[in-house]
Amino acid sequence: MKLVCGGVRLIFATNGLPHARIGLAVSRKYGNAVQRNRLKRQWRESFRASGIRCLGVDILAIPSCPSSGMLHPAEDMQRALDRIEDKLLQRMK
C-alpha cells in the first residue's frame, strides 16, 4: 500500500515478523550528501520514536520533493507513520 504525507512517500506491507523494518531511498535529486544523510538520520529517529516498531510491517520511505521544498521532514515522517499505524490497527480489528 502507498501513503503520501507532506514531503514523504511511504510504501508499506506486512512482513509476518514481530517487528517493523524501514528502508530509506533518497536519491541525488533530493540534494547533496550532507542533506541526504541528515534527512535519513531524522527519518530513522522518527521511526525509532514511533509506536509502529512493534507491528510487523516493512516500510520504504522516499522523499517526494527536493530538500528546498521540504520544511519539516521529521514531522512529516512522524505523521505518516502514525497514519500507517492507525490503518494497520483498524485492519486488525
Rounded mean pLDDT of the chain?
92
Domain extent at residue 30: 2-92
pLDDT value at residue 53: 87
**Domain count for the chain:** 1
Cell numbers linked to 45? 529517529
Q: Which helix (H) or strand (E) holds 40?
A: helix 33-49
pTM of the entire predicted model: 0.90
Could you read off the pLDDT of 13-26 as tens digits, one per residue?
A: 999 999 999 999 99
In CATH, what number is assigned to the domain containing residue 20?
Answer: 3.30.230.10
Could you read off the pLDDT of 37-65 as tens digits, one per residue?
A: 999 999 999 999 998 988 999 999 999 98
pLDDT value at residue 37: 96
